[in-house]
Amino acid sequence: MNSLSIWKDLRPFSVGFDNIFDHFNNHLEHTLKQGVSYPPYNIAKVDDLKYQIEMALAGFSKKDIEVTYADNQLTIKSVFEKEDKEDESTTVHRLS
């Protein structure tokens, strides 16, 4: 099954929401054409043996990110810890 056909399959059940499904479909098609992955990143060549990786990690500080390199594999993961002082009534969504 083509992943883009899901929106066409849902069209009979989306009366009044057609433009939302069209938006999702356009975004998905654009993403697939661009080969974009998340989070967005850049790789810059510094010299013959050095490269620099830049990642857009909005909402994270350096203490929230763990970077490891082992067995020829680079791993970047979140070690984000929830702060008790945060007012939960203002947080609509948080990726944990």
What is the reported pLDDT for 70? 93
Say how many domains are in the chain. 2
Inform me whether the pLDDT recorded for 94 exceeds 50: yes
The average pLDDT across 26-35 equals: 71
- Kindly report the backbone phi and psi dihedral angles of residue 10, in degrees, each rounded to the nearest multiple of 5, phi listed first: -85, -10
Q: 45: which strand partners?
A: 51
Inform me whether the pLDDT recorded for 53 exceeds 70: yes
Residue 48 and residue 69 share a domain:
yes
**% of the chain at pLDDT higher than 90:** 12
Inform me whether the pLDDT recorded for 19 exceeds 50: yes
Range of the domain at 15: 5-34
39 preceded by a cis bond (ω within 30 of 0) = yes
Residue 45 and residue 26 share a domain:
no
CA dist 88 → 11, 92, 93 (Å) = 36, 8, 10
- Mean pLDDT, the chain, integer: 77
| Residue 94 belongs to a domain | no
Inform me whether the pLDDT recorded for 2 exceeds 80: no
